[in-house]
Amino acid sequence: LLIGKHNAEIICCCILTDLQNRIFKLRQMAVKKTSQKIGIGQQMIAFAEEFSLQKNATKIEMNARKYAVGFYEKMGYKIVSNEFLEVGIAHFKMERKISV
């Protein structure tokens, strides 16, 4: 679990799960609406990737909400599935190979 705080208030979070086979899954990523568009999400992704690399991961995958796909694409993630519903919300499976 990764959380980011500003003045003791949690403004971002995500869960990074080791799926084994050198693959990590990014889940439940969120940035408080008033803290979006200033690079916090990019910093969280960069931290998750660096952490995963330190654990010898070669790939990070996620189920990204449809509206967030553009953000993840800018970070180098690719769609690898058709659209599907998860908890009643449109998602796409996305992944990115990582290396040193």
- pLDDT of residue 100 exceeding 80, the answer is no
3-state secondary structure 45-100: HHHHHHHHHHCCCCEEEEEEEHHHHHHHHHCCCEECCCCEEECCEEEEEEEEECCC
Q: Give pLDDT tens digits for 32-83.
A: 999 999 999 999 999 999 999 999 999 999 999 999 999 999 999 999 999 9
Q: Which helix (H) or strand (E) holds 35?
A: none
Q: Give pLDDT tens digits for 2-36.
A: 999 999 999 999 999 999 899 999 999 999 999 99
Q: How does residue 1 score in pLDDT terms, banded at 50, 70 and 90?
A: confident
Q: Which helix (H) or strand (E) holds 41?
A: helix 40-54
pLDDT score at 99? 83
Supply the pTM of this predicted model: 0.91
